[in-house]
Structure 1
Amino acid sequence: MNFLSKITGCFAMPAAENPTVAMMDAAYAHHGINARYINCEVAPEKLGDAVRGARAMGWAGFNCSLPHKVAVIEHLDGLGESAAIMEAVNCAVLRDGKLIGENTDGKGFLKSLRELTDPRGKNIVVLGAGGASRAICVELALVGAKSLTVVNRGRDRGEELVRLICDQTPVQADFAPWEGSYALPADTDILVNATSIGLYPDLDARPDLDLTSLLPGMIVADIIPNPPRTKLLQEAQSRGCAVLDGLGMLVNQGVINIKYWTGVDADGSIMRKRLEEIFSA
């Protein structure tokens, strides 16, 4: 079992290409930004050393993935609003000599969603209660969603997320147990699949839903970037729903990260094009 994870620096040496690295470097090249985005495998017991190294080398910031998103907090100097609420960080930013923890997972999704609709005042159902769901739910709550329903197989984790939303934001959230095929309430405006169901190579998998409850006019979003057109999105579109793929969330996370680190408003279309090239290969 591999217990290593990634802590990714904005300024450092070149590394082997992967989709995220390729997407970020495409943006840097397009905008003439003198930066590189690299992957560094960091063992949990070396996380503090890695953060101190990032400081010492003058990195503008870094991303971190599981299992470091919570543990990294003790090595930072402060947290942004949503990162403090969800108690998880995926992006550290050097500001006035201090490393501040942000979470761009939910922010990237929100930016993508707003290309279709404003979530303010909407009834939203989110499938899953893991880290991605947590980040998305907090951001949706902070911008004024009318209601949030968290649907999850495990009751404890789902109810814990609902309590966090109700306690830390002004939005009412509810838990719905995922037992068999889940039927969406008729007043659902937006459905978000925040699980990994349908991720490559399981191309024919989709969340267990009562497909008759997918109604025309609903927005169905999937956070999975590969494949961009998941089985869920295919089914939803065939029933008259507007759909949102996971590439938008991934791209907009990158756009926000670059803005934090360099001040540049990156062109997301350049980044999306590079991802589409990779995933269609």
Structure 2
Amino acid sequence: MPRRIKRAAIVSSVLILLVAVCAVALTYTVRSSSTSSSEADKDLPVLKIGVTDNDPYVYTDIAGDYAGIDIDIAREACKRAGIKPQFIDISWNDRDRLLKNGEIDCLWCDYSPCYREDEYCWTEPYLTLTVSVATKKTSGIKSLAYLDGSKTVAVIAGSVSERRLLAGDLEISSDVHIKSYGSAELCKAALVKGYVDCWMADVQSLDCLVAQYPGLYRVFADNVMTVDLGVAFKDGYEGEYVKDLNTVLFEMDRDDTIERIVGKYKAGATTDRQGAES
């Protein structure tokens, strides 16, 4: 064999051997890191979080994983507090029973202490929402002043919007018809199918509707109210989770983490939804 060819063969063999060694080392490092992370997670206390589909706060993405504003905030807060979040899909009507019997630890799903201050043990508010009304552009309804006894408004059952409408403490005719649905998706479907004239909800949810159906819907320029969101534990809760979450949620507000998370879900910012408490 010529010396040049022999030398090239030796160099090639050495290179192949080095690549193989690097690949094995990299694989071991990745597996070792993954295993260590998995082992560490096993030792973390688990927070069982009750959620229900409510785009853009909670929904499943195209991969079938939980996503949304509240999901991202909860994940980051739990990470900082040394807690492992476990999201549990629940029927919203069963929320209090599940809390009481311990199947879930808390409710973290676009939920407000407004009108419920004494019903749960709450964290401090972590987000303030603006509530308005959406309607079809062809409806002729341009503001709250147009809502009278001939109009029907969709709201989520048990929401702050429903309670305030029923209490008559909003600047809307007391004759307006109120149609309550079990979720934001059902409210949206009712408006799209023409079962109702309007949908009252937080602006984030309404903006998603407008983005989903370009040119068909408008959101009122005059807002109805603002609503604070909190994490709800059962009444009489005496554990450390509320205190721990208050600490990290305050930090997340101070370092603008919550603002950045909300910004990710502005209408049009994401397109992988399957898709409010307010």
* TM-score, reference length from structure 2: 0.37
Bigger relative CO (Cα 8 Å, ≥ 6 apart): 2
If you compute each CA radius of gyration, which structure gives the higher value, 1 or 2? 2
